[in-house]
Structure 1
Amino acid sequence: MNHQVIGILAHVDAGKTTLSESLLYLTGAIRKKGRVDHQDAFLDYDPQERDRGITIFSKQARFSWKNTRFTLIDTPGHVDFSSEMERSLSVLDAAILVINGCDGVQSHTETI
């Protein structure tokens, strides 16, 4: 079986955790999609993250699709936690850059 490490990157509130939750749910890795605003996201389990409604720490989860096992890394999007996101880059095989269609490219998106 092939193995890939992919990271989800974006500015804050672009939908990284929502996309991550959907990928995990649709591939059967989790039974229920959580939501950041409901404080029940699978990948945002730290109390600080739930209180603030943002990802602070990079998290990983695994799922399989077809003949590939993926390690998914959900990274923080807030500029204050950029160093946490940057640490994740060295282990990635691929990155998915999420851009919110309503907000468009933000200044931090260009930095990422």
Structure 2
Amino acid sequence: MKRITLGLLAHVDAGKTTLSEGMLYASGQLRKLGRVDKQDTFLDTDNLEKKRGITIFSHMAKMNLKDTEVTMLDTPGHIDFASQTEQVLSVLDYAVLLVSASDGITSYTKMLWDKLIDYQVPTFIFVNKMNQPGTNRENVMTDLNKKLQANFVNFNDNRDAFST
């Protein structure tokens, strides 16, 4: 069985814990989706995390996806706990950097991106909250490419290129 370590990184309130819950639920590791606002998420186990509704400590969960065992690391999104996030970067095979479409590229998102480059971690960008009013896909892509100085590909626009 192949094994990979995947880190989820984002600025606070981008939806990282919700995404991790969804991934664990979809993989069959959870029977019930937890919610940050109900203080019943699987990965935010510390009482202070539940009370504040934020991830303070990095947490680990495992899930199986076909023939791959994925160790997922959910990291804090608040800049006050950035050292917790940076500590996991050296063990990652891949990262998912969440960006909230409504917030765009924050200074913390830019800092995380720069750290991922420094640590040479292959990274997927996951743009969350695209369903919020006033969100424009083209503006989000322009913002990503300009502020992160990269040439991102929107998989939604290129579905045919990836179909088999």
Task: Please report the TM-score for the alignment, with normalisation by the length of structure 2.
Answer: 0.68
**TM-align CA RMSD:** 0.5
The separation in 2 between residues aligned to 1:33 and 1:45, in whole angstroms, is 14
Match of 1:20, as an amino acid? Answer: S
Q: Rg: which structure is higher?
A: 2
Unaligned runs of 5+ in 2: 113-164
Match of 2:75, as an amino acid? Answer: T
Q: What is the CA distance between 1:5 and its match in structure 2? A: 0.2
Counterparts of residues 34-53 of structure 1 (less than 5 Å): 34-53=34-53
Match of 2:7, as an amino acid? Answer: G
The separation in 2 between residues aligned to 1:66 and 1:29, in whole angstroms, is 13
Q: What is the CA distance between 1:102 and its match in structure 2? A: 1.2
The separation in 2 between residues aligned to 1:57 and 1:51, in whole angstroms, is 14
The separation in 2 between residues aligned to 1:57 and 1:33, in whole angstroms, is 20
Task: Show the counterpart of 2:100.
Answer: 100
- The answer to whether 1:59 aligns with 2:59 is yes
Q: Write the deviation string for residues 92-111 of structure 1: whole angstroms up to 9, x where unpaired.
A: 00000000111111111001
Q: Write the deviation string for residues 59-98 of structure 1: whole angstroms up to 9, x where unpaired.
A: 0000001110000000001000000000010110000000
Percent pairwise identity: 55
Counterparts of residues 55-94 of structure 1 (less than 5 Å): 55-94=55-94
SS at match of 1:13: coil
Task: Show the counterpart of 1:28.
Answer: 28
SS at match of 2:99: coil
Match of 2:94, as an amino acid? Answer: A
Task: Please report the TM-score for the alignment, with normalisation by the length of structure 1.
Answer: 0.98
Report the structure, 1 or 2, having the larger helix content: 2
- Structure ranking higher on relative contact order (CA contacts 8 Å, 6+ apart): 1
Q: Write the deviation string for residues 29-63 of structure 1: whole angstroms up to 9, x where unpaired.
A: 01111011110000001000000100000000000
Deviating above 4 A after TM superposition, structure 1's stretches of 4 or more consecutive aligned residues are: none
